[in-house]
């Protein structure tokens, strides 16, 4: 198969949602339909019956939530599909924001009973900012929920999307009979007391035919005709160009847990979703069909296998072919590196690959050379943009609870911060270390992983910090900047990359600093 054909057959996408909307279950079912796994692991009431394939960290299995983005690849109908299952919990949002820099499209999962929730709004906002094509999957139709039209209205109003239904539910909850597939003009019915069995798909070109009344009941058939007439009247026809440019979002209905509507979603997805797209660098736009290899690190995971202390850097390939044992330039360090065992993923299962194409995610064993945002090329010096660190919302001093294990603690914190689970700030005044996170639950995860993966223990202490502001002086040599550093010396720190950070104790002190020192700019992200 040629290079261009390999690019065209790839689909790399992320699944995003509020916690408990059924995102990990949908990932499992997509893998099941793709033939990648034989049995799905259900995450029910936070008690894991059989661990979901995408939740492979010990703490995820205990809590029944996803805390790290996992990557899975499988083949389906001649397409190579790469899924990035992201954490839904808001405390792990930063991992999700970064993952969105590595996907070409997104599936947004919404709970039929709860509708649009807070975390969904934030994540969709990030997708809209980048014009990422989105498909909406309204999940859990086997339960009583809200009317399909109400939900689509809410998606349009709260998320600012322009939706068009591609399938439509027949009934809901106890009366749920199946799905009418608008995209392929067929009906898929579900039978059996537990509604797990899917009857064969029945093609129906003419909705007014009596065949529909025989399949359903005359009441259900009439309701479906009315709903579809209304839906097709008020929503625009699906336009693939508008979908690809982020101006229109197709909506599918189903129940991931009971396999309803998942096959319809997957079949339409591989047909309409974009193949790998280009990405902007500080020098030029890099298109996927450029022959020269380039890629960037969007995630680092320490201890994928705690027995072997291994660290993996996840690289999204943007252009060219990545080959095993070939020298590539690590742009930030300015040195050539080659990789003898690059990995492709299936959750925690890995296999060594010889070559990978644009859109693929490759895991590279790392001894500490990589940071999030690093660029690899065949020799061109350029850096991919848009992988910032955001200002954390929670801050705590970190203290060593076991003086005999100072080395292990330092190494553990160092490696976990490289992963991007949190950010480390070192005070200029006394060298004390402060950990900043997006959510409070991250502190538990750090403590747990330090103990179980590095044999180190730590305690936390509150610190009155409101926001971390990265400092950019217009002129580092002028007196104003020197005065700013002197007056704010108690609040000055360095981040892991050595950048100057002002740890402000309130919104008021940020405003006052900006007024008093106009030539010192303060930024809430590390990329400016």
Helical ranges in 170-273 per DSSP H: 210-215, 218-234, 240-244, 262-272
- Would you say residue 385 lies in a domain? no
Residues 289, 246: one domain? no
Residues 18, 119: one domain? yes
Using H for helix, E for strand and C for coil, what is the string for 109-134? Answer: EEECCCECCHHHHHHHHHHHHCCCCE
Q: Which of 238, 272, 306 marks a domain boundary?
A: 272
228, 116, 253: which is closest to 173 by C-alpha? Answer: 253
For the segment 496-509, the average pLDDT, to the nearest whole number, is: 92
CATH of the domain at 28: 3.40.50.300
Output the six-digit token pair for 279.
């990405």
DSSP 304: S
- Taking only the tens place, the pLDDT of each residue in 3-51 is 889 999 999 998 888 777 777 788 888 877 766 554 444 333 333 334 4
Does residue 510 carry a pLDDT above 90? yes
Residues 371, 349: one domain? yes
Q: Which of 253, 272, 291 marks a domain boundary?
A: 272
Domain count, the chain: 3
Residues 283, 267: one domain? no
CATH of the domain at 478: 3.30.70.3280
Full residue range of the structural domain in which residue 192 is found: 3-272
- Would you say residue 33 lies in a domain? yes
Q: Which helix (H) or strand (E) holds 94?
A: helix 93-99
Q: Which of 236, 256, 272 marks a domain boundary?
A: 272
CATH of the domain at 342: 2.40.30.10
Confidence of residue 449 (pLDDT cuts 50, 70, 90): confident
What are the backbone dihedrals phi and psi of residue 74, each rounded to the nearest 5 degrees, phi first?
-155, 165
Between 1 and 306, residue with greater pLDDT: 1
Residues 424, 346: one domain? no
- Would you say residue 528 lies in a domain? no
- Give the count of beta carbons closer than 10 Å to the beta carbon of residue 421: 23
55, 10, 14: which is closest to 347 by C-alpha? Answer: 55
Residues 228, 346: one domain? no
- Taking only the tens place, the pLDDT of each residue in 331-386 is 999 999 999 888 887 644 667 888 899 999 888 888 778 888 889 999 889 988 76
């Amino acid at each position: 198969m040629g290079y261009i054909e390999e690019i065209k057959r790839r689909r790399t996408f992320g699944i995003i949602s509020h916690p408990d909307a059924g995102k990990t279950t949908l990932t499992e079912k997509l893998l099941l339909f793709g033939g990648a796994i034989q049995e799905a692991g259900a995450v029910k009431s936070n008690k894991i019956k059989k661990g979901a394939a995408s939740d492979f960290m010990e703490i995820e299995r205990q809590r029944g939530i996803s805390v790290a983005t996992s990557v899975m690849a499988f083949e389906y109908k001649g397409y190579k599909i790469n899924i990035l299952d992201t954490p839904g919990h808001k405390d792990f949002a930063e991992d999700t924001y970064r993952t969105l820099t590595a996907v070409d499209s997104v599936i947004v999962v919404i709970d039929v009973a709860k509708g649009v929730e807070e975390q969904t709004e934030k994540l969709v906002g990030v997708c809209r900012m980048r014009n990422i094509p989105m498909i909406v999957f309204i999940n859990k139709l086997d339960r009583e929920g809200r009317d399909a039209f109400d939900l689509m209205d809410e998606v349009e109003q709260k998320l600012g999307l322009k939706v068009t239904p591609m399938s439509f539910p027949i009934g809901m909850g106890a009366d749920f009979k199946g799905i009418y597939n608008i995209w392929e003009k067929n009906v898929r019915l579900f039978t059996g007391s537990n509604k797990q069995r899917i009857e064969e798909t029945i093609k129906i070109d003419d909705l007014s035919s009596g065949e529909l009344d025989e399949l359903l009941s005359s009441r259900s058939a009439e309701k479906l005709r009315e709903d579809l007439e209304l839906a097709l009247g008020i929503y625009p026809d699906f336009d693939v160009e508008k979908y690809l440019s982020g101006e229109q979002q197709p909506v599918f209905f189903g129940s991931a847990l009971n396999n309803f509507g998942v096959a319809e979603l997957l079949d339409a997805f591989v047909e309409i979703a974009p193949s790998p797209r280009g990405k902007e660098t500080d020098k030029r736009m890099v298109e996927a069909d450029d022959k020269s290899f380039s890629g960037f690190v969007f995630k680092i995971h320490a201890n994928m296998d705690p027995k072997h202390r291994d660290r993996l850097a996840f690289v999204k390939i943007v252009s060219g072919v990545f080959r095993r044992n070939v020298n590539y330039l690590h742009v930030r360090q300015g040195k050539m590196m080659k990789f003898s065992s690059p990995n492709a993923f299936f959750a925690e299962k890995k296999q060594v690959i010889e070559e990978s194409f644009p859109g693929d995610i490759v895991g590279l064993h790392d001894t500490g050379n990589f940071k999030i945002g690093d660029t690899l090329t065949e020799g061109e010096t350029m850096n991919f943009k848009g992988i910032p660190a955001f200002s954390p919302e929670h801050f705590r001093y970190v203290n060593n609870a076991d003086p005999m294990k100072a080395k292990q603690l330092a190494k553990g914190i160092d490696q976990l911060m490289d992963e991007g689970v949190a950010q480390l700030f070192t005070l200029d005044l006394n060298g004390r270390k402060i950990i900043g996170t997006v959510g409070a639950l991250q502190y538990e995860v750090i403590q747990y992983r330090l103990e179980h993966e590095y044999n180190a223990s730590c305690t936390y202490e509150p610190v009155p910090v409101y926001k971390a502001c990265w400092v950019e002086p217009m002129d580092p040599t002028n007196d104003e900047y020197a005065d700013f550093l002197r007056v704010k010396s108690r609040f000055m720190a360095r981040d892991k990359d050595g950048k100057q950070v002002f740890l402000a104790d309130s919104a008021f002190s940020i405003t006052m600093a900006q007024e008093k020192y106009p030539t010192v700019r303060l930024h809430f992200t590390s990329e400016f």
